[in-house]
Amino acid sequence: MITLLQIKQRIKKLSFVKKLLKKYYYKASPMKRVSYGEENADKTFYVIGRDNNVGGAWALINTVMMHIGLCEENGYTPIVDMLNFKTQYTKEDEFGKINLWEKFLQQPAGYTLDDIKHSKNIIVSSTSPVPSAKYNSYAGSDIWSNSEKLTLFKNLFAKYIRFNDKSKNFLDCQAEKYLKGHKNVIGVLCRGTDFLINKPVGNDIQPDPEVVLADVKAEFSKGIYDAVFLATEDQDIQDLFVAEFGNLLLSVDQVRISKKEMKGDAWIASVRNKLNPQEDKDIAFLSYFTATYILSKCRCFFAGKNNGSKGVLYMPSNFDFVKIYELGRY
């Protein structure tokens, strides 16, 4: 017999699926070709743009990389447009004035939007995050089990995703600050809050923090490590690891959200903005990168399947081993 609670849960799940489909498919605009002049007639520029007020920094980069893969296959020259498309890191007074991508990263092929404003051949990308099944590294894709695809994306990252000098210097300084001379560090990325509460349909199931903690404790007990570096936006997970490792737990200073602060189907980005309206979005963007950048410098890596852990795997690293939790999808 189906209980009232089960009925409510099913209605909630169906409602979430409807929202997800509407967000990622119903509103997606198709790829289109435009021409603004006769310049650069020997090139076809591919402008990558998509509104995304929920995705974190690595979700944005992962989407850009999927489109860059399509560019490589077709000989297009990619340009990232975060000038005319909004993200959760876009400041209201900078929208339409400053390309967010260029605040932190170099353009993939060196061309900017200003460089192509009189160009003959321009393709404006579809606003769908996945432009081609071949270059799909979205939630639920086979990138975790397909070593060829992971290598493809690592190569795309090495070739096209480059931090600008200011960001690179910041990340290097932060890594030196937080690792504090530690040489043998266990890296852990633990996604919580909105994923553990909402269980977004189609996304990869995140591991139980208690299970991750137990695995990390077992590895740490081998006596070859001098610290644990934890990347999480979840205050409850942070507290859990602090209680176990104390001063041996390293983590970046950032705004974290506890389970009690989450409401309904809210995503962490919207909750964080409501609770901390004065948070500097540039710092939030770089904090996300700082944590994953430091993780790539650890000796081993524990993580669930999410965009942040993909980012860690894309970056150069020298891990003894990687533990990715294979738990299926919500």
DSSP 15-30: HHHHHHHIIIIITPPP
3-state secondary structure 153-170: HHHHHHHHCCECHHHHHH
Q: How far apart are CA 300 and CA 317, in angstroms?
A: 10
Q: Are 40 and 122 in contact (CB under 8 A)?
A: no
Q: Give the number of other Cβ atoms within 10 Å of residue 44's Cβ.
A: 17
pTM exceeding 0.85: no
Q: 264 to each of 13, 17, 198, 267, how far by Cα in Å?
A: 12, 15, 8, 9
Region of residue 202 (left: phi > 0; alpha: psi -120 to 50; beta: else)? left
**The pLDDT value given to residue 23:** 47
**The pLDDT value given to residue 174:** 94
User: How does pLDDT run along the chain (330 residues), one tens digit per residue?
Assistant: 455 555 555 555 555 545 544 444 445 678 889 999 999 999 999 999 988 877 788 999 999 999 999 999 999 999 999 999 999 899 999 999 999 999 999 999 999 999 999 999 999 998 777 888 888 888 778 888 889 999 999 999 999 999 999 999 999 999 999 998 899 999 999 986 655 555 656 677 899 999 999 999 999 999 999 999 999 988 999 999 999 999 999 999 887 887 776 665 565 665 656 656 567 888 888 888 899 999 999 999 999 999 999 999 999 999 999 999 987 776
Mention every residue, 6+ apart, whose C-beta is less than 8 A from residue 16: 198, 200, 201, 265
